[in-house]
Amino acid sequence: MKIMVGMHHPKHFWMFKNLILAGQKKGWEFIILVSKKDVLEELLQTSGLKYYIIGKNQPTMFKKIIELLKYTYYTYKYSKEFNPDVYISQALLHFGLISTIRRSFYFIFEDTEYVPILHKLTIPLCTNVITPKCFKKNFGRKHIYLNGLFEVSYLHPNYFSPNPEVLKKLGVGKGEKFVIMRFVSWNASHDIGQKGLTLEIKINAIKEISKYAKVFITSESTIPIELERYRINIPSEMIHGVLYYANLYYGESPTMTTESAILGTPAICISSWAYDLGNIIELKNLGLIQCFKTDDEDIALQKALDWLMNKNIKQEWQRRLNKMDVKKIDVTARMVKFLEEFFQDSEQ
DSSP H or E segment with residue 137: none
Output the CA angle 311-316-318, nearest 5 degrees: 120
Residue 119 to residue 144: CA distance in whole angstroms: 15
Residue 27 to residue 44: CA distance in whole angstroms: 21
Q: Kindly give, in sequence order, each residue whose CB lies less than 8 Å from that of residue 54, ignoring residues fewer than 6 positions away.
A: 33, 34, 35, 70, 71, 74, 75, 78
- Alpha helices for 92-193 (secondary structure H): 93-101, 116-122, 152-155, 165-170
- Alpha helices for the chain (secondary structure H): 10-25, 40-47, 61-82, 93-101, 116-122, 152-155, 165-170, 199-209, 239-245, 254-262, 278-285, 297-308, 313-322, 331-347
Query: Is residue 122 located within the same domain as residue 7?
Result: yes
Query: Is residue 202 located within the same domain as residue 125?
Result: no
DSSP H or E segment with residue 129: strand 128-132
Task: State the pLDDT at residue 238.
Answer: 94
Domain range for residue 310? Answer: 165-322
Tally of domains in the chain: 2
3-class secondary-structure state, position 147: coil
Task: State the pLDDT at residue 185.
Answer: 62
**Residue 281: what are its φ and ψ, rounded to 5°?**
-65, -40
CA 142 to chain CA centroid, Å, is: 23
Residue 294 to residue 197: CA distance in whole angstroms: 7
Task: State the pLDDT at residue 227.
Answer: 87
Query: Is residue 50 located within the same domain as residue 18?
Result: yes
Q: What's the CATH code of the domain at 341?
A: 3.40.50.2000
Q: Kind of pairing, strands 2-7 and 86-89?
A: parallel
3-class secondary-structure state, position 113: coil
Query: Is residue 254 located within the same domain as residue 271?
Result: yes
Q: Which of 313, 298, 311, 309 is nearest to 267 (CA)?
A: 313
Query: Is residue 58 located within the same domain as residue 92?
Result: yes
Q: Which of 70, 27, 73, 74 is nearest to 51 (CA)?
A: 74
Indicate yes or no: pTM above 0.85: yes
Residue 168 to residue 173: CA distance in whole angstroms: 8
Query: Is residue 243 located within the same domain as residue 296?
Result: yes
Task: State the pLDDT at residue 33.
Answer: 98
Query: Is residue 81 located within the same domain as residue 171?
Result: no
**What count of other Cβ atoms lies within 10 Å of the Cβ of residue 307?**
21
Query: Is residue 57 located within the same domain as residue 115?
Result: yes
Query: Is residue 204 located within the same domain as residue 290?
Result: yes
- Burial class from Cβ neighbours inside 10 Å (0-12, 13-18, 19+) for residue 311 reads exposed
Query: Is residue 152 located within the same domain as residue 264?
Result: no
Task: State the pLDDT at residue 322.
Answer: 82
Q: Which of 152, 154, 125, 128 is nearest to 142 (CA)?
A: 128
Sign for the pseudo-dihedral over CA of 107, 273, 279, 21: positive
- Per-residue pLDDT of the chain in tens (348 residues, 90 and over written 9): 999 999 999 999 999 999 999 999 999 999 999 998 889 999 999 999 999 999 988 777 788 888 999 999 999 999 999 999 999 999 999 999 999 999 999 999 999 998 889 999 999 999 999 999 999 999 999 999 998 999 999 999 999 999 999 999 999 988 899 999 998 864 444 444 445 688 888 999 999 999 999 999 998 777 888 888 999 999 999 999 999 999 999 999 999 999 999 999 999 999 888 888 999 999 999 899 999 998 899 999 999 999 999 989 999 998 888 877 777 789 999 999 999 998 876 665
Query: Is residue 114 located within the same domain as residue 176?
Result: no
Query: Is residue 147 located within the same domain as residue 194?
Result: no
